[in-house]
Structure 1
């Protein structure tokens, strides 16, 4: 690709709207904010948006894709769930046919099911970028681990396993770079934080940041399924802990450095900032 062609593609993408699917979620919200801060037109893709987008209702896709040049693709509840690959594949073909050639997919690191969705997206003929991530730091401040942190007990089916937690701000920075700069087309970035942490380590970091004692308590997967059901969350989320327990992501990767030329954010920095925001005040 020549420099002239790259510049032309960038100009064309930036004059059109970027559809951010899941634009109210942990990474989508940050992607939308960053694009808007650059003065770029953004459309939030969600069930309750002005122009609604619903994964289970393909009739909503065309309206959401109107005048769109790029899409940040996230799938709820998870790309590894049944039906995800088919939906992502059909949506990707619809997006390209509608004129949205630049597709950036948030995928799951170490998830075989997510790889199928990646392949389906690539088959659409899009100018694609794949961003693979695993457990987010913000799961402890904005998601299903928030209440356990407030209660002072992280009861999880993770044993002594370790994870390279990645920050949602790093994910958003990589996604925005991929959406706006053609040098990222055709690349797959695997993201992690700068160090491996056990869930006991996480509890220690949270304790330091909050000034309270946060305790990690290993539980069985069946016990955690019951907790998910009680809180109205998909019990299939418990199966995702299998990827933690088997060690497939128990190593560092360097996608943040590759895409952005800087180091990823450490969990301790995230914890200090989150504590200062008051989100963990009891």
Structure 2
């Protein structure tokens, strides 16, 4: 199986959790900074060493998942090393936060590239392999877990690029689950909340003191059990779903569904459309607040 962005944070926790259950893991990470700058093979190698020290099997891989070549090499690494690919966990990403009027094109492109394109390309190459397996009569056990965010579900002030990319991942998940079902591939997404390099300031005060023996609510390891289950045969039949995962809480998100509606059976005038829209809004549920909104 493959975990992208597995050198630190959530990806590291997922890779270790899968390995603890006996999975053979391709640990993918470029070793970049929280803003995507720099690169190092160290983080991926360290996670591989941790897994091997605990008796598991893992190999480090440094392909850029936001390039077709890097994504293809990632899938090939799993096939060449372990002879099969069962599960893909898309997790790689970084932040370049700015208020919308200060957000430049480069920061927009970089974040959308790593999150959204970095989900699409590994999914595409893995799906091509699984389709070939299915057509050859070898129906695979094939699972994809994508990583969205509460920012993708509700928006987040100062994170237009990140929120748009994470919302796009939800759309990608729904389409992929429908298109790949014929090949035996299940595709789900999580919207996790945990303390990582990208969120350490947000959750800095939530760590339980070790001497108290308390529950560290924002530890990345709290999210991994759900991710492991979604990649296992125990979750057979579960596809096209989005789960929020935080601390000890799991929530099935229900997404966009039709609310109050009105049908005139003919074209509205602008005044009629406005009057009708206001009536419908008065009957509709209020939207979730955008993170950081006052």
TM-score by length of 2: 0.48
TM-score by length of 1: 0.50
Q: Which structure has the larger Rg?
A: 2
